[in-house]
Amino acid sequence: MVDPSLADGFKCSKVPNRVVHKWLPPPVDFYKFNVDGAVRRDGMAGGIGVECTVPRDDGTLTTYVGFRVQHDNARGPMKGGIRYHPGVEPDEVNALAQLMTWKTAVANIPYGGAKGGIGCDPGELSLSELERLTRVFTQKIHDLIGIHRDVPAPDMGTGPQTMAWILDEYSKFHGYSPAVVTGKPTDLGGSLGRDAATGRGVFFATEALLNEHGKAITGQKLVIQGFGNVGSWVARLIHEKGGKIVVDIKAKFIIKATNHPTDPEADKKGVVIIPDIYSNSGGVTVSYFEWVQVNNELKTYMTKTFKDVKEMCRIHNCDLRMGAFTLGVNRVARATVTRGWEV
């Protein structure tokens, strides 16, 4: 459980985030705008920390701290998951909100970046306790989120049922609003295949990379580190395509499937690496399809985005990581200038 004092006066730091800025193309000043972001015109800049006191099943009261950080809305409503995990804290949420801005820009879908979460261990809470916690958190942030402002989605420790509770609680204040969240159950307008979307996107990114090098997944030996939702879907899809999942292999290609898994210093020379802001963008892309009720376009988006990233690499003579961030930052910068906002 996060220290409740963290919610007191919490404000998203305007100091450049050290984690995210390691990845940004130098020099950042070239882009002539604030990469740390500011929600302009229609919302507050920064974020909010709230205390959520809920009754446990045994009658005791427990207080948890939740956060929602809104980074940038130059390209559209802000978008980002809500995670339930004991390690949720302001700096992490802030960094992930920034990454969502660049990820949605790289994928070229009309969203900005946001992120949220509650410091809790969902495995130690009953279903009814999770529902009460989710509803209290929604009551605290309902004025910050909205169909055209900030659209939450599932993340670590949350899922379709969590989104259903948020939708229901939000609707008590604003009327029935199914598009206020994505990743919700299909019975409430959710998108088929959303649970597999991030893993499927990683699979398509892998396929695009191998095709670029004259290879195919069929017959290839691949190692998967981690076997949660994303890793398990990647393994299943690779197996269906004829790839071989093995262990202990010296990799020529690395596809980063989770948010910020390593620092730039960990990149190995001579190894082609696909950055996470591209490879794991399948989830938010299908969330966009759900938001506008379109589907079956993920492979088209992932393939087109890979070509866009490669073009940035050609123009700037850089690797895929730098090409992806250059693409994302440039798109946000152009939207910021085009909308007439101060830069």
Q: Exposure pattern of 132-155 as b/e (b: 16+ CB <10 Å)?
A: bbbbbbbebbbebbbeebbbbbbb
Instruction: Please tell me the distance from the alpha carbon of residue 33 to that of residue 329, in angstroms, as a whole number.
Output: 10
DSSP state of 105: H
Distances (CA, A) of 317 to 34, 110, 278, 303: 25, 27, 18, 21
* Catalytic hit among 103, 115, 184, 256: 115
> What is the sign, positive or negative, of the torsion defined by CA atoms of 314, 320, 323, 327?
positive
Token match 């009261």: residue? 61
Q: Between 320-338 and 90-106, two packed helices, what is the crossing angle to 10 degrees?
A: 90
Phi-psi region of 290 (alpha: psi -120 to 50; beta: other; left: phi over 0): alpha
Cα 296-299-303 angle, rounded to 5 deg: 150
Are 306 and 277 contacting, i.e. CB atoms less than 8 angstroms apart? no
Instruction: Judge whether 256 counts as a catalytic residue.
Output: no
For the annotated catalytic residues, the residue numbers are 115
